[in-house]
Amino acid sequence: MKIAFVSANRETMPDAVIPIGLLYVMAACPKHHETELWDLCFEDEPLSMLGQRLDAWQPDLIAVGLRNIQNMDYTGIDANMEFYRAMMRTIRKHSDKPVLLGGGGFSVMPERILEDLGADFGISGEAERAFPQLLAELERPEPDLMRVESLFYRADGNIRMNGRMGDFLVMDEIASPDRSILDERYYSEYGIESLQTKRGCPLKCDYCTYPKIEGARGRMRDPGLVADEFMEIAARPEVDHVFIVDSVFNLPIRHAKEVCRQLIARGNATPWTCYINPTAFDEELARLMAEAGAAGSELGSDSGCDEVLLSLRKGFTVEKIRKSGALHKQFGLKDCHSFILGTTGETMDHVERTLDFIEELDPFAAILLVWVDDIEALDAGVAAERFQLKEDIYGRIAERAKGHSRWVVPTIGVQFNERQFRALRRAGLRGPLWQYLDMAPAT
């Protein structure tokens, strides 16, 4: 069977992100199948390219990875779905073969997205075992789709889920992704590699989709194997930075500490960053991260109000955020805190208090977003209801952001625009661009 793997992500602001999830699924594909990766990220005319590839290669199955429903910066939330719809129209125009959807974006609302895009199949969550199961069934004269875990499919005009969810995968048993097939521009233009040390998140944050995508039980890789892979991918000449893509690197904290010790033992000198949760961040971990080459971390702090943090079920308080920020400064780690304003039940008073808190915290960088529910990308009514509140909040953020050169407000272009990013890249700066905000001209 000839299988085209299509990475539909087009985001390059501020950085292009390696489609590591799709690479993992490709690595799990049985070797007797022919596979190609069609990455739309850097294409000037992605739909034209897709149509040409479909005509020329004529795959038997088109497997599409959807990374996000919304843009990562929450600007133009319809843009991704509109592009995905156009992509599906292109596929249907050039091929009558089945289309499979997957990825984090699909897994958030699998049934609704399968219906919206008109695909034939979809796998929600991990696909390294489910995908080969589907291939095995499609090769049979009479496929039994009930044998395939986590599968959504069409039958009798309806979308069905087979009702069988498989056990979560053992991380050390998964085949390693083949990064050699990636577009060179991920390295030549951005210099960032991606690495996963675990899957699953035990936290219960109200809005987060990670437990739905990866499960609520953390499954760790062997720290020594993690460090070996880190050193291998970092040895590539054009790799200047490694980003650890775990939902939260420091949970459990003992695993994060051991990964750091293994990197220290190998003499790592390549800078890296990760996502950190203030719940479990102590002096020892901060010290180990610094010694292991970490440049800093990104923290989902979300609010400067304890009652909002409680409502969001974040599991930590404002004081925990303060302590995490102080430890970053103590050990020379740059801290980038993201705050999401306007969540359910928030008032403008909460917004003001959070902005006051950010000024007091004085992190190296603060990314400010206004809450957008994923359903807004599919439900115009919900989006309209929240429009004025978002406008009011962004107006206040814009006023308060004046004079803060390291506050980033992507939706309204504060410290977030292509001209600024190009200037930083031309200056030879590599890795996540938030860590260079002290060098960038204010916008």
Q: Going residue by residue through the chain, which has 443 residues, state the pLDDT in tens, using 9 for 90 and above.
A: 999 999 999 988 888 999 999 999 999 999 999 999 999 999 999 999 999 999 999 999 999 999 887 654 444 444 688 999 999 999 999 999 999 999 988 988 899 999 999 999 999 988 999 999 999 999 999 999 999 999 999 888 888 887 556 677 888 999 999 999 999 999 999 999 999 999 987 777 777 766 666 776 778 999 999 999 999 999 999 999 999 999 999 999 999 999 999 999 999 999 999 999 999 999 999 999 999 999 999 999 999 999 999 999 999 999 999 999 999 999 999 999 999 999 988 999 999 999 999 999 999 999 999 987 666 556 667 677 777 888 899 999 999 999 899 999 988 888 888 888 888 888 888 888 899 888 866 66
Asked if the domains at 2-157 and 184-439 fall in one CATH topology, the answer is no
| Residue 320, pLDDT score | 97
What's the CA angle centered on 429, arms 425 and 431, to 5 degrees? 100
| Residue 440, pLDDT score | 67
**Euclidean distance between CA atoms 31 and 425, whole angstroms:** 39
Do 102 and 64 touch, CB atoms closer than 8 A?
A: yes
Residues contacting 4, CB < 8 A, separation 6+: 35, 36, 38, 53, 54, 57, 59, 61, 62, 63
**Euclidean distance between CA atoms 407 and 295, whole angstroms:** 19
| Residue 53, pLDDT score | 98
| Residue 72, pLDDT score | 45
**Euclidean distance between CA atoms 318 and 309, whole angstroms:** 8
Tokens of 270: 């390549």
**Euclidean distance between CA atoms 107 and 213, whole angstroms:** 6
DSSP 157-222: TEEEE-S-PPPPPPGGGSPPP-GGGS-THIIIII-EEEE-SEE------TT--HHHHH-SS-EEPP
* Prediction pTM value: 0.90
Domain ranges (residues) in the chain: 2-157, 184-439
Nearest alpha carbon to residue 154 among 131, 121, 124: 121
Give CATH superfamily name and number for 2-157.
Answer: Cobalamin-binding domain (3.40.50.280)
184-439 has which CATH code? 3.80.30.20
Residue with tokens 């750091």: 260
| Residue 374, pLDDT score | 61
Do 206 and 215 touch, CB atoms closer than 8 A?
A: no
Residue 198: CB atoms within 10 Å:
22
